Amino acid sequence: MEPHAAYQPELWRDLYVMLGTSAAALIGLLFVATSLHLDDLVRNPVYHTRAYNQTRYLALLLIEAVFVLMPQTPLIFGIEVAALNALGLALPVSNIYSFVYKNKAAAEPGGWAIGRAVRYIMAFALGIAGGAMLTVDSAWGMYFVTASFVLLLVAVIANAWSIMLGVRRRT
């Protein structure tokens, strides 16, 4: 693979237009779904936190798509992506701390689960690694960034579905 082949923006443009559009559409759908069950989400701190975090994860994905589509050097792009994913990594790590040490009752079925947090941690770690690879001109950086993006998108979709099913069961 030739140097920078993985980061040639024209090679990734269509994919990231689709991924960014998907993230933006899901933000809108999440707002609609949560507004339909707003009272239930406000009453349940676990579902409230999960719904709020899903919106934050989707916003991070949308920002990452913007970074991919913005013309810039691999070094700057790699730093942006690594920093954005480090910021994202803080969310599941802080949730683990919060739910394990402050709100142990949240671990009830349908509430908080370590498996969900691990998926997010793995995805953000992939994104950080991809950003780091891009800063040293590794052609594999974009593949790691894309794997991170897709894993996060799928995790958010699964989690949003889980929230809606859980809220529906409680009503």
pLDDT, tens digit, 9 for 90 and up, residues 17-74? 999 999 999 888 887 877 777 777 677 777 777 788 888 999 999 999 999 999 988 8
Backbone angles phi, psi at 93, to 5 degrees: -65, -45
Q: What is the pLDDT of residues 111-146, one digit of tens each?
A: 556 777 889 999 999 999 999 999 998 889 999 999
- DSSP character at residue 70: S
Reported as type and span, the H/E element at residue 120 is helix 114-135
Taking a C-beta distance cutoff of 8 angstroms, is the pair 134, 142 a contact? yes
Backbone angles phi, psi at 2, to 5 degrees: -75, 155
Task: Enter the tokens of residue 5.
Answer: 């082949």
Tell me how far apart the alpha carbons of residues 140 and 161 are, in angstroms, rounded to a whole number.
Answer: 32
Going by C-alpha positions, the residue among 124, 97, 127 that lies closest to residue 112 is 97
pTM as predicted: 0.82
Domain boundaries along the sequence of the chain: 5-170
